[in-house]
Amino acid sequence: QRPLILHLLKHPETSTNVSAYCLEHHVVRQTARTDLAQLADMGLLQTAKLKREFIYTPAPDFEQRVKGM
């Protein structure tokens, strides 16, 4: 999760999904879903459904939330 958080701090306009997370972080789909869901539960990511997949984007106050961790 840390590499994603660091990437989103540098590129807040970025979004991701389970497939992209799997490829970039070399994890299986279940791990990707769990990681992204945990970040969403923490309020760091917002979730939107586009067709049949979820898209994750940084929350509006992402940087402040990360700095408060």
**pLDDT of 69 over the 90 cut:** no
CA gap 62, 19 in Å, rounded: 22
Interacting residues of 47 by C-beta distance below 8 A, sequence separation 6+: 40, 54, 55, 56
- Between CA 61 and CA 37 the distance in angstroms is 17
Q: Is 55 left (phi over 0), alpha (psi -120 to 50) or beta?
A: beta
Question: Over the stretch 52-64, which tens digit does the pLDDT of each residue have?
Answer: 999 999 999 999 9
pLDDT, tens digit (0-9, with 9 covering 90-100), for 12-39? 999 999 999 999 999 999 999 999 999 9
The mean of the pLDDT values for the chain is 94
Rounded distance, CA 17 to CA 65, Å?
21
